[in-house]
């Protein structure tokens, strides 16, 4: 004879199991502190470009100018360099947990690249894992990738 329990224990047990699984999954998937960001920038060999990198920036809503209601980047500190494709840039992001790479045309780009498109690709890796990618024609606009981690670690 099986003893009878005045209530069913299955629903609370299932809820507890789901809660523990969710909590365990969150702990496992949290990558913890991020340390290094690296971007691989490619385009037509030897074409000079301007690259801006920063770990100290913020986004704001642009309410004036020719493109109102667009997002603007405010740089608190940034490095600007002139490089030739292909190249890599990297930074320690342990303190800020953010990294921005923006590639645009340099003053002498036209004289080296001619008049065709300047197809550019930027792959962003954080601690060796690919985080994001952006590509486009530099003649139309700059190419930018951004990493920002909101974890508390």
Who wins on pLDDT, 20 or 109? Answer: 109
The helix (run of H) or strand (run of E) holding residue 46 is: none
**CA pair distance 53, 77, nearest whole angstrom:** 9
Q: 13-22, 54-63, 128-137, 143-152: which range is least confident on average?
A: 13-22
Name every residue whose Cβ is closer than 8 Å to that of residue 25 and which is 6 or more positions away in sequence.
none
pLDDT at 2: 55
pLDDT at 19: 43
The helix (run of H) or strand (run of E) holding residue 146 is: strand 143-148
CB 90 within 8 A of CB 37: yes
CB 111 within 8 A of CB 123: no
- pLDDT, one tens digit per residue, over 50-98 is 999 999 999 887 777 666 667 788 999 999 999 999 999 999 999 999 9
The DSSP bridge partners found for residue 40 are: 88, 123
> What pTM value is reported for the model?
0.72
């Amino acid at each position: 004879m099986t003893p009878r329990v005045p209530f069913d224990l299955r629903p609370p047990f299932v809820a507890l199991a789901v809660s523990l699984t969710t909590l365990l999954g969150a702990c496992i998937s949290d990558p913890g502190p991020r340390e290094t960001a690296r971007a691989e920038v490619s385009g037509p060999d030897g074409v000079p470009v301007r690259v801006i990198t920063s770990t100290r920036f913020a986004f704001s809503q642009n309410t004036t100018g020719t493109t109102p209601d667009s997002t603007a980047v405010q740089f608190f500190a940034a490095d600007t360099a002139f490089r030739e494709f292909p190249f890599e840039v990297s930074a320690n992001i342990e303190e800020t947990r953010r990294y921005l790479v923006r590639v645009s045309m340099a003053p002498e780009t036209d004289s080296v690249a001619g008049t065709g498109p300047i197809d550019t690709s930027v792959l962003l890796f954080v601690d060796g894992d690919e985080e994001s990618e952006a590509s486009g024609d530099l003649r139309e606009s700059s190419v930018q990738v951004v990493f920002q981690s909101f974890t508390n670690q």
